[in-house]
A and B are shown apart, each in its own frame.
Chain A
Amino acid sequence: MHRAISAADAARLIPDGASVLFGGFMGVGTPTRIVEALVERQARQLTIIGNDTARPGAGVGRLIEAGCVARAVVSHIGMNPMTQQKMIAGEVDVELVPQGTLIERIRAGGGGLGGVLTPTGLGTSAAQGKQIITVQGREFLLELPIRADFAIIHAHEADYNFNLTYRLTATNFNPIIALAADCVIAEPNEIVPVGVLSPDAVRTPGILVHHLVERPH
C-alpha cells in the first residue's frame, strides 16, 4: 500500500537546480507545505514554471524571497514587487509567457504532442524567435512543449491510490502539470480511504502521481 510522506521528505526529493512545475493562481491552489519545506531546506537554483509569482509571502512568492529561484517561467509577476526587483538585479531570470499559451505548452509536454499552434501573441514580443505556420489561410505561432523534473500539486482530496480531486478556482494549473513531470508530488487537504472518491469526481488519475504528502496535522 502507498504511504504518504512528510512535506520535508518531499522537499528533499527536489534537488537544487531542478525544474519544478507548480500549481496555483495568485497562490490559490499552490502546495504551501511543500513550498515552506523547500524554503526551510534552503533549496537553490530552482527553475519554477507556473502561472505567476503570487504576492510577497504567498504561494511561490516565498521561494522568490528566500532566494530559492534562479529562473521563473510565468505569465505574470505584477503583484510581486520582489520578483521584479530580483529580475532587475539579475538575480532571477524571468521568462514571460501568455497564460493560455503556457498551460497549452505544458499540456502538450504532458500529452505527447510536438507543440501547439496558437493565434495568441502573433505580432507581439511573445512571437520573437518563434516559427509562424499558416493553416487553412490563418497564421499561428508554433509554441513548443514544456516538461519539468518535478510537478508540485495542491489537491483537495486524495486517496491512497493517489487519485486526486480539486476545489473550485484552486484547480487552475494543477490537473495539467500532473501530466508533464518526471516526478509528481501531490499535497492534498484530505486523504481518504480507497473507494471513497467517486470515479467521476477524480480529476487526476493516481497513476500520474508518484508521492503524496501527508495531510496537515
Chain B
Amino acid sequence: MEQKEIIARRVALELRDQTLVNLGIGLPTLVAKYVPAGINVAFQSENGIIGFGSPPPTGMEDPNLTDAGGGFISALPGAVSFDSAMSFLLIRGGHLDVTVLGGLEVDAEGRLANWTIPGKLVPGMGGAMGLVAGARRVIVAMQHTARGQSKIVRELSLPPTSVRPVSLIVTDLAVLRPTPEGLVLQERAPGVAIATVLEATVAPLIVADDVPEMGIPST
C-alpha cells in the first residue's frame, strides 16, 4: 500500500457518523475515498459549502461550484452554500467536528506548523489558522519524514499555525497522540517496528509495552 493510502485509510477510521468534516487540500482530500461503510459524514469546504461530492463528469462542471483549491465539485442532495463569514463562524464556533490538515512539522507539544517556510515558501495561511483554532478535533495527516528528516520535532523550527495542540497525528509510520505529558505512540503502521518509528522521530515519544498496528488492511 502506498504511504499516502495508509495515512488516508487510517484517518478515515477517525470519522464518526453524522459529523461535519473539513478536508485540507492535498493528502487530506484522499480521506474522502475511504470513509467506512455505514458512516455518513458531511464535508464542509471553507469557501462556502456543506455537503459537496466528487468532481462531476467532464462537461457537467458548474463554474460557481468549486472547492477551496478552485477545483470543480458536485453538490449532494441537501447541500447548502453560504458566505465566508458564515463559513468561519461555523469553524471557530465549534460547529465543525473534525478538520484534517497537512503538516510541515509537529512538535513534542503537538503544535502544528503547516503554512510557511520563511524565505522559501510563503503561500499564506488561508483558512488554516482558523481551522486549527476552532475545529473540535484537528487531525494532521502527513508523511513522517521529508527528505530523510523527521517532521516530528522537539520544537518547531517553522512558524506555528496555532499554539493549540492538535488532537491526533497520522503518518505513514504511526499514529501519535499529543498529551500534557508528551506525544504518545498510539499505533504503528502495518509491519512497522516500534524501533523504526523511534528512529524516524526526533521528539521524545511515550511508548507502551504493546503498541498495536493500525486497524487497516495490511496490503
Contact = CB atoms under 8 A, between A and B. Distances in A.
Interface of A: 25-29, 51-52, 54-55, 74-79, 84, 87, 96, 98-101, 103-104, 107, 118-126, 156, 166-176, 203
A122 B45 CA distance: 23
Given A75-B126, A122-B163, 11 more contacts: A54-B70, A84-B122, A98-B130, A99-B88, A104-B85, A120-B92, A120-B130, A167-B64, A169-B47, A169-B65, A176-B83
A124 B75 contact: no
Nearest to B160: A124
A79 B92 CA distance: 25
B159 interface: yes
B122 A120 contact: no
Interface string B71-100: 000010000011111011001100000000
A29 B129 contact: no
A79 B123 CA distance: 7
Contacts, number: 149
Contacts of A125: 159
What does DSSP make chain B's interface, helix, strand, loop or mixed?
loop
B64 A168 contact: yes
Nearest to A99: B127
24 contacts: A25-B66, A25-B84, A26-B47, A28-B64, A54-B70, A55-B70, A75-B125, A76-B123, A79-B70, A79-B123, A98-B127, A100-B127, A103-B84, A119-B133, A120-B162, A121-B133, A122-B162, A123-B160, A124-B125, A124-B160, A125-B159, A169-B66, A172-B84, A176-B83
A168 B65 contact: yes
Nearest to A171: B83
Nearest to B130: A100
Contact of A123 (B91, B92, B162): B162
A25 B68 contact: yes
B201 to A, nearest CB: 24
Contacts of A54: 70
B49 interface: yes
A52 B123 CA distance: 10
